[in-house]
Structure 1
């Protein structure tokens, strides 16, 4: 089986890397905070001291990082160490511009695929994410399938683009559901009644996500994704949602918590 290097063991990365280990792939892992690799090492993975060390012998390199800046920093170390024939699968939510920038740096003989995922930590742990694969993904599609169903999106960068579209819709929907609940409170509508009515309508999915308790997607990540979207097109509604999540993320007790905590901020904050 392919030797895989997995870089980035955050809330999504660790359970995704575990799926590969459970499938029997020889797995080398790296994370900036090295302690986050301990559980996977105990399960049979090998920890690398640096990103370059992780990828030198890898057939497949997977990056699952916080954002474009983290990807650039890791690429500085990884690019010189890649072997011809390696597939690099970029799975972070970074937007298509970052993927194109990375493509300009990848050496000849290395195949870059962008394959961000749909779903949160619960689906990552169960191997039921949705994978959006752009570029020449045929050589790694069987690896990607370990994470969940794979949708081929087209040319390189289209996976990253579609992921940004999906996340923008979800995060924006959560903000709208929070505002609707704020309106219900202002009008004296019973909270449970309002929530039930919204859940039964077109916003049902957003309402469920707004009040979810078993998943995790931080407000700081919501800010990152909505900022990428706002930079790509004129999106007034996205700008309003971004302002909500920026306010929530400014609170250190909320910034890294799930966006359900931001919903409370939106519903209860005082106008200034």
Structure 2
């Protein structure tokens, strides 16, 4: 059983790490806020004081971090401690440029970019959609504990596809919120409009806009759309980004941002 170092225990990282621990893998964890590691340590994980301490004896490193800056900082702190031949699975939403910079920084590691689709409920159930770029042969059995794997092509392609999908979903949620604002202005019954939208082609987006019991921080939605709009000219996505920048509150699910867009 490979020794795994899991770096980043936020809303998504913690349940993903728990899945690997439950599968029997020796697990060392690190998180910038160490208190968040408490439940995993109680279940048998080892807690490292630094990224370097976490990866020193690891066969596989998994990162699930907030964005490109956090990934850069962790890679800089951990790089010299890596064992030759280690597999590094980068599962954050950081875009392809950050993945390629990581590969250049870690010449002794085999890197796979494997961002995920799905929220905290899917992470806990091991039912994430994993978009995997690069050579996945050595780690696909580990990813299977977390969800289903779609091979996307060369290194960086998973991160690229994740930006495409998140841009569509997050912008779509803003569109649904505006559609409901239009319905309010027209004096229509909100429940009737929501049901009609949910029965149409936007069904999945409508469901996510009103989801309860899951979490995707609205400030991370801002980060994702910002990454996308730096890559190409995307007027509709740029408009959605301005919506989220205006209403997103740290720690709140994206559905709360959608509610604010509706009433703003």
Q: TM-score, normalised by structure 1?
A: 0.96
Which of the residues 245, 257, 264 maps onto 1:262?
257
Q: Is the contact made by 1:7 and 1:64 (CA closer than 8 Å) also made in structure 2?
A: yes
Q: Which residue of 2 aligns with 1:47?
A: 47
Q: Which residue of 2 aligns with 1:209?
A: 208
- The CA deviation at 1:105 is 0.7
Query: 2:185 & 2:250 partners in 1: Cα distance?
Result: 26
Are residue 122 (structure 1) and residue 121 (structure 2) matched?
Answer: yes
User: Which runs of 4 or more aligned residues in structure 1 lie more than 6 Å from their structure 2 counterparts after TM superposition?
Assistant: none
Q: Is the contact made by 1:7 and 1:29 (CA closer than 8 Å) also made in structure 2?
A: yes
Query: 1:92 & 1:263 partners in 2: Cα distance?
Result: 23
- The CA deviation at 1:16 is 0.1
Query: 1:218 & 1:35 partners in 2: Cα distance?
Result: 19
Residues 216-260 of structure 1: CA deviation (Å, up to 9, x unaligned): 1111000000000000110000001001100112xxxx3320011
Are residue 188 (structure 1) and residue 187 (structure 2) matched?
Answer: yes
TM alignment of 1:45-194, pairs within 5 A = 45-108=45-108, 110-194=109-193
Number of residue pairs aligned between Structure 1 and Structure 2: 264
Query: 2:140 & 2:206 partners in 1: Cα distance?
Result: 33
Q: Is the contact made by 1:248 and 1:255 (CA closer than 8 Å) also made in structure 2?
A: no
Query: 1:169 & 1:162 partners in 2: Cα distance?
Result: 11
Residue 92 of structure 2: SS of its match in structure 1?
A: coil
Residue 149 of structure 1: SS of its match in structure 2?
A: strand
- The CA deviation at 1:214 is 1.6
- The CA deviation at 1:41 is 0.4
Query: 2:71 & 2:91 partners in 1: Cα distance?
Result: 10
Residues 76-100 of structure 1: CA deviation (Å, up to 9, x unaligned): 1111111111000000000001001
Q: Which residue of 2 aligns with 1:199?
A: 198
Q: Which residue of 2 aligns with 1:247?
A: 246
Root mean square deviation of aligned Cα: 0.7
Query: 1:54 & 1:38 partners in 2: Cα distance?
Result: 15
Residues 45-91 of structure 1: CA deviation (Å, up to 9, x unaligned): 00001000000100000000000000000011111111111000000
- The CA deviation at 1:204 is 1.0
Q: Is the contact made by 1:79 and 1:107 (CA closer than 8 Å) also made in structure 2?
A: no
Q: TM-score, normalised by structure 2?
A: 0.99
Q: Is the contact made by 1:182 and 1:268 (CA closer than 8 Å) also made in structure 2?
A: yes
Residues 170-197 of structure 1: CA deviation (Å, up to 9, x unaligned): 1011000000000000111111111111
